[in-house]
Structure 1
Amino acid sequence: MLRVRQQVGCSDEIVSSCKGKGRGVTIAMLDTGVSSHPDFDNRIIAFMDFVNERKRNYDDSGHGTHVAGCICGSGWVSGGKYKGIAPESNLVVGKVLDDKGDGNVDVMAKGIEWVLSKQKEYNIRILNISIGMGENTEKSRMEKLIRLVDEAWRCGLLVVCAAGNTGPDPMTISPLGARRNVITVGCHEGGYFGNSGHLCEDYSSRGPSAYVMKKPDVVAPGTDIYSCNAGIIRRGRYYRNAYVAKSGTSMATPIVSGGLALLLQKYPFYTNEQAKQKLLYTARDLNEPWNKQGWGMIQIDRLVAEG
């Protein structure tokens, strides 16, 4: 995460400048769950298990914990090296995927309905969905899910979705990320790895979508991102296996959610429409085709700047 923060202009000074009236923005996350990693302090304020109906927060896959760390891990175990983008944000987590990262449309729909029911209670401003949905779902059930995503945006949530990992062919954007209003995030390393192969940007899903020509909206780094590991082990005062590297648009998506959380910390009066517009207009053009980069790489220093 250290190199990611450097790439997207998220220095400690920038984070400190965002400690305004909106301190502690709440982000809802639908994923495989979240573990009680020390980097989350006491900021997991609600958890609901739609898979196994367990009461306490957990993550039997590790995907959700990694995503959560990218969003708002404090980096405490690493001395700050692997802290997330918005380390003061709170989390509301719905477990909608099992230990293999599999799920279904009906469970996902229940997760979104739960987030909407808790929106006012927890002052949820952002919904992070680092999940790619396939096209092989019954049309009526997928349409219900898409309507719920649209409803979440109409209710004022900033809905941030992964583009998916089925590129590089065009028209491969995940159905949830294909909608006009949601913020769809693809992968791009901005040249950090040079001409290396096996980069997330090589398989990041491409636009256009079935609903709107210009997708994805923005990109963020997604290759070998080090973040919180659900398999962390405590040995006395010390920890082992506290962090792990993962790749994919799932990792790029929380970078954007974290950036938006900083924006809302500094400007809590922003609507989701205003926040999305500023995100797009402050992105850095990478001189890539639109269906690969959208408006470009998220630049958090520009995003939270005045004006």
Structure 2
Amino acid sequence: MGASAERGAEYTGRYVVLLDQADPERGLNALRSTAGVAAVERVRGAEPESAAEMLARPGTSVLFDELAVAVVDAQPDQRHALVTTAEAEPTIIAAEPERVVYATVITEARQAVTGFFPAYRSDERELQRFTQTQVASQLGPSWDETTTTWGLQAIRANLSGQTGRGVKVAVLDTGVDTDHPDLTRSLEETASFVLGQTVEDGKGHGTHCIGTVAGPARPAQGPRYGVATEARVLAGKVLDNTGTGTDGQILAGIAWAVSHGARVISMSFGAPVDPGELFPQTYEQVAQRALQKGTLMVAAAGNESHRPGFVAAVDRPANCPSILAVAAVDRAMATAWFSCGAINGQGGEIDIAAPGVDVISAVPNGGLGIKSGTSMATPHVAGTAALIAQAHPEASATDLGNRLRSAASPLSQGADEVGAGLLQAP
């Protein structure tokens, strides 16, 4: 999707209901008795095909056992009763309208910045900030991408001793080109949560993100563009071939990824929020439950800004405190003109920034392409998390997030734009 500050909230008419993990059935029974919720199907993490079919079935509510969260289909005249029941029943933690979400990629062209202003780490691993003049005098006016993309150079992934070997990273997106010569070896498992569509990527967005996470050290053509070249990818299609999906499809993908042992979930999509709007309790609690199971969730901050004149709030679900929100920077280490910022309070913060302008990666039909967006920044972070997980296999999911932030290289912008700073590989 292109930048669209005018894009409003869109709803499906269903509700996302977060249940007490100790007794989810009690909450469902309360909804059955007072809100007319009839058929409830249970889905376990390893059942993607059935999840897609159930979510599309009218009048059917779906419970994802892995996370004790349900997508509830209630008749219009029963929705008030559903909300009232949720407020009164202690085993129902939250109930929120299901939203439509979009892939976050920029299609509107802006003049590219050719200079660059990177922050480097010295041999003593101390953080340093260089002036643009100093950097230009040492390295020239532009990045040389003959062998490695500018993004990998900026985060020092090309200098890392880690490859992410064996670490599972789930990329929930528009699917993947399963025949792409650069990606076939990295694909551990695939699943589609979109009814009537295979995991094959009809949009190109998911393939590009997966390439950034785990493209090979020596691709078939062009420079190296993958951060964690030996990571294992779980490719979950939660957005259709137009780049559109629902909370239910995303939650199905999250449950699947967690149940399959993903250490990181990369989510390059979002839905816009208004100034002052609170983060969604359902996603926040799901993210906390994922952390407890060893999975870190990373999400794109969103592309609705038109800097410098207008800064939009961080999209949901990235605005949740327990989900790492990723901003985008350009080749000059300036905040990308489209990147959303921390204009809301608790939960609307930016955690870290990564390369998100003119990013080279894989595209369907075996080729390479250039895309921009916080979508492109996010898989840089997910891939780097895999490098850290390989280096520190004992680290908890919370530790992975803390290590990402603490290793970031300071930038001149405020935390409201770039969080802890520029992502740096171990």
1:48 matches 2:182:
no
Which residue number in structure 2 is paired with residue 182 of structure 1? Answer: 323
1:279 matches 2:404:
yes
TM-score (norm: length of structure 2): 0.59
Distance (whole Å) between structure 1 residues aligned to residue 332 and residue 186 of structure 2 = 34
Deviations 1:18-51 (A, max 9, x none): 25xx722110111000112111132212111111
Contact 1:164 1:204 in 2 (8 A): yes
Which residue number in structure 1 is paired with residue 24 of structure 2? Answer: none
Distance (whole Å) between structure 2 residues aligned to residue 227 and residue 263 of structure 1 = 22
Quick one: which of 292, 301, 305 aligns to 1:154? Answer: 292
Quick one: which of 336, 347, 358 aligns to 1:201? Answer: 336
Letter in 2 for 1:211: Q
Letter in 1 for 2:241: D
Which residue number in structure 2 is paired with residue 267 of structure 1? Answer: 392
Distance (whole Å) between structure 1 residues aligned to residue 398 and residue 313 of structure 2 = 25
Distance (whole Å) between structure 2 residues aligned to residue 54 and residue 97 of structure 1 = 10
Which residue number in structure 2 is paired with residue 103 of structure 1? Answer: 245
Query: Based on CA coordinates, which of the two structures has the bigger radius of gyration?
Result: 2
RMSD: 2.2
1:134 Cα deviation (Å)?
Answer: 3.1
Letter in 2 for 1:274: D
Letter in 1 for 2:377: A
Secondary structure class of the residue paired with 1:77: coil
Distance (whole Å) between structure 1 residues aligned to residue 318 and residue 170 of structure 2 = 17
Distance (whole Å) between structure 1 residues aligned to residue 318 and residue 213 of structure 2 = 19
Distance (whole Å) between structure 1 residues aligned to residue 200 and residue 331 of structure 2 = 34
Distance (whole Å) between structure 2 residues aligned to residue 216 and residue 227 of structure 1 = 24
| Larger relative contact order, structure 1 or 2 (CA cutoff 8 Å, min sep 6) | 1
1:143 Cα deviation (Å)?
Answer: 4.3
TM-score (norm: length of structure 1): 0.81
Which ranges in structure 2 are unaligned for 5 or more consecutive residues?
A: 1-147
1:229 matches 2:363:
yes
Secondary structure class of the residue paired with 1:178: coil
Letter in 1 for 2:195: N
Identity within the alignment, %: 29
| Structure with the largest fraction of helix | 1
Distance (whole Å) between structure 1 residues aligned to residue 347 and residue 283 of structure 2 = 18
1:175 Cα deviation (Å)?
Answer: 1.5
Deviations 1:222-278 (A, max 9, x none): 01101001133xxxxxxxxx1000000000000011111111111111112222222
Deviations 1:153-172 (A, max 9, x none): 23221111110111244561
Letter in 2 for 1:179: C
Quick one: which of 274, 296, 304 aligns to 1:166? Answer: 304
Give the paired residue count.
270
